[in-house]
Amino acid sequence: MGKTAEDLWPEADEIMKDEEKALNGEAIIGREREVTFPNGETKWYSIYKLPRRDIDNNIVDFLGMDRDITNRKKMEKELRQSEREKTKIFNNMSEHIVYLDKDGKVLKA
């Protein structure tokens, strides 16, 4: 509490643009952003900014939340790499392998 965007985020100008959009009525839901900190550390965040309105529907401020999704992004990258490796092995095998579903329909050959 009491910190500015510049205190918390290296890319404060981008964060300020999101905040301005929220203050103008645009909801930002689940935007993913990679942030590199001054020490070189990189993290991924899912960003939410929602305008809050008073009883007369005037925007009074916004509710903001940034969720660290670095681990999820790392797992997604590892999964993509694993899939590429599996596909490369599958496509270069001399044996013939067929993937079937439970009804015997060919999924991949």
7 plus 25 within the same structural domain: yes
What was the pLDDT predicted at 76?
A: 97
15 plus 58 within the same structural domain: yes
Other beta carbons within 10 Å of 12: 14
What's the rounded Cα separation, in Å, for the pair 101 and 86? Answer: 18
- Interval 70-101: pLDDT, tens: 999 999 999 999 999 988 887 887 777 788 88
24 plus 42 within the same structural domain: yes
14 plus 63 within the same structural domain: yes
Domain that holds residue 94: 71-109
Rounded to 10 degrees, what is the CA torsion of 85, 88, 91, 93? -80
- Interval 26-42: pLDDT, tens: 899 999 999 888 888 99
Q: Return all residues near 63 (Cβ < 8 A) that are at least 6 apart.
A: 48, 49, 50, 52
55 plus 20 within the same structural domain: yes
Domain count, the chain: 2
